[in-house]
Structure 1
């Protein structure tokens, strides 16, 4: 059986790490590359975080590429401290002084274009951070989107409920122009796991405790990086998520990855055109759903709404129980 080819574009924080582990555990996925972008941390930290995750599962053969260090337009805003200053909870002391030697020299955007062009209509792109690399890819190669098989995005929102601003979700808020470009110009099948989708399909804190207490290297890694992070504490301060949706364990980026791995995880979705607001002083970065086709756009996306919690939970559990297995870097770079 032919494996599904995937490129993961990430700003590797704790939930990205969980999503990458999920992809590594999926037997039917071939990860062609991991491309890095600023977001949860500076892009240099993101690169190191990805290398750490791959190392946990002995999958260092997968090529990692450094990408955009700031948004498409304007100056880079300070990175989020949601997952700590380094993106992985500020608990890892084993700094690799030679990490740059392990990163491919080619820029992430160029690598993305090359790999997709060489495998047209075969590659699924899973975008877990700000969409800057994707926006640059379509600007460099206008035919890039039509060469993709499909695109999975964790980001945006569908009800104007924001987590970093009043109306916008983090990945879209830090680079609204790139989010706008991608959702206007990527005409391939596109699936959006919005902030509300993730929050509405939260798992229990009891499940989280079971997840991180498995006897496996990946589980121990996840337990360590979540150990001091308030976002992974049942007793944490009240967040916007709690106010809007109530408490629960949410591994945001894993929802987009799960949809890529197994489409049956998604039970319901809304098919409609969308647009990212860029001008509003209050709503900049908000994703607007056009259910009445007032925008007269020719392209609709699938905005995910309901998740099969049991299947999603199984994928999460498999991600931390996985045995270490190597993947050769031959033919990938």
Structure 2
């Protein structure tokens, strides 16, 4: 059976780290490269975080590329500390070693080149703001037709946001890029929205089973989540808690899991979508249009339900790789 070829575009925070580990552990999968973008933290931190993950997994041969440091339009907004100021819980020592490990080629150029070298075979997984993808399609408008498929963690399906009242974090940080990608990437597109990931959360007991395994990857995940408030078991009165209750939400891992094993997703809605870029309150919101009143020729698959047992076993197995 031919290998599944992946490119991962990431703003590597804690959930991205777990998602990347899932991809590295998957059988029959080859990660061609990892492209970095601002988002959970500054792009330099993202590059360092990706190298930290690859080092733990003993896969530093995978090329890593530095990409966009900010959105297409406007300044970089202040980074949230959801996963710590460095994206990985502020528990690891900083080092300059990563600078010598990152490829010289820009992430956008690398993305275009890798897809062109493997036309029709690459699954692109986007885990952060979509700036690198938007720039890539501007440089090569034929790029989407050369992809096998696209998996995105981002956006929303119920008009509920986690950065603004109506917009999800990744799409809100660069609404224009999200709009461009969902209008111009006409390959098979699958979206794990914020509400979907929250409604398919895992129990804290499952989380404990994951991180208490006796492997370097599990110990790494336990360390980076140890002092991060996002992994606190204490109830917090917040928008997320009021809507979805408590539990462990490995946001980005859903997109990777869906890509490497489609049977993890048990139901999707095929529909038209569009990202709002003009409204003051709605900016960055993904509008879901099941009736296709937008009259779009390209429909995406919005994930709705998940086989949580299979997903949980996949995460557990991934943390056994090192």
Is the CA contact (8 Å cut-off) linking 2:14 and 2:83 kept in structure 1?
yes
2:10 corresponds in structure 1 to 10
CA deviations 1:294-323 (Å, max 9, x no partner) are 111111000000000011001110111113
2:42 corresponds in structure 1 to 42
Paired residue secondary structure (1:273): strand
CA deviations 1:39-84 (Å, max 9, x no partner) are 0000000000000000001100000000000001111111221101
Is the CA contact (8 Å cut-off) linking 2:64 and 2:103 kept in structure 1?
yes
In structure 2, C-alpha distance between the alignment counterparts of 1:234 and 1:78, rounded to whole Å: 26
In structure 1, C-alpha distance between the alignment counterparts of 2:2 and 2:203, rounded to whole Å: 35
In structure 2, C-alpha distance between the alignment counterparts of 1:287 and 1:228, rounded to whole Å: 32
1:92-171 alignment runs, 5 A limit: 92-93=92-93, 95-171=94-170
In structure 2, C-alpha distance between the alignment counterparts of 1:132 and 1:81, rounded to whole Å: 21
In structure 2, C-alpha distance between the alignment counterparts of 1:98 and 1:198, rounded to whole Å: 34
2:62 corresponds in structure 1 to 62
CA deviations 1:271-316 (Å, max 9, x no partner) are 0010001111111100001111111111100000000001100111
Is the CA contact (8 Å cut-off) linking 1:230 and 1:236 kept in structure 2?
no
1:27 corresponds in structure 2 to 27
2:226 corresponds in structure 1 to 227
> Under a length normalisation based on structure 1, what TM-score does the superposition of the two structures give?
0.96
1:1-333 alignment runs, 5 A limit: 1-93=1-93, 95-323=94-322
Cα drift, residue 98 of structure 1: 2.5
Cα drift, residue 236 of structure 1: 5.0
Paired residue secondary structure (2:319): helix
1:327 corresponds in structure 2 to none
Is the CA contact (8 Å cut-off) linking 1:230 and 1:237 kept in structure 2?
no
Cα drift, residue 171 of structure 1: 0.1
Is the CA contact (8 Å cut-off) linking 2:235 and 2:246 kept in structure 1?
no
In structure 2, C-alpha distance between the alignment counterparts of 1:271 and 1:97, rounded to whole Å: 45
CA deviations 1:182-213 (Å, max 9, x no partner) are 00000000000000110111110111111110
Paired residue secondary structure (2:119): coil
Is the CA contact (8 Å cut-off) linking 1:198 and 1:250 kept in structure 2?
yes
Structure 1 segments (4+ residues) deviating >3 Å = none
Is the CA contact (8 Å cut-off) linking 2:37 and 2:129 kept in structure 1?
yes
Tell me, which stretches of 5 or more residues in structure 1 are unaligned?
A: 324-333
CA deviations 1:122-160 (Å, max 9, x no partner) are 000000000000000000000000000000000000000
CA deviations 1:250-289 (Å, max 9, x no partner) are 0100000100010000000100010001111111100001
Tell me, which stretches of 5 or more residues in structure 2 are unaligned?
A: none
In structure 2, C-alpha distance between the alignment counterparts of 1:76 and 1:236, rounded to whole Å: 31
